[in-house]
Amino acid sequence: MQMNIFKYEPFQVEFFQNILKNIKSNHPIMIELGCGEAEYSKLFNDCFLNKCTNICIDILPKQLNLAKEILQKNGMTKMSNAERIID
């Protein structure tokens, strides 16, 4: 199944994939603000074969849980769950 970002954000995805090709680090780190379904984190993780760190941030705890679930289904093995709710 194709990710939604390919349908709705084709230019952003192409730009992001071009950036990924130029990263030289053996263990890159990415922060995804407003991670939603963590689709950019999945692309990042796939590019670096699970030898990277993804930091997913979202204002909605349910989105963080969804992102974690999706990434785990796609082979991301090391996950930590940090959640902070600000009143």
3-class secondary structure, 1: coil
The C-alpha atoms of residue 53 and residue 60 are separated, in whole angstroms, by: 21
pLDDT tens-digit map of 17-52: 999 999 999 999 999 998 888 899 999 988 998 788
What is the reported pLDDT for 82? 57
Q: Give residue for tokens 């349908």.
A: 7
The C-alpha atoms of residue 87 and residue 72 are separated, in whole angstroms, by: 29
pTM of the model: 0.80
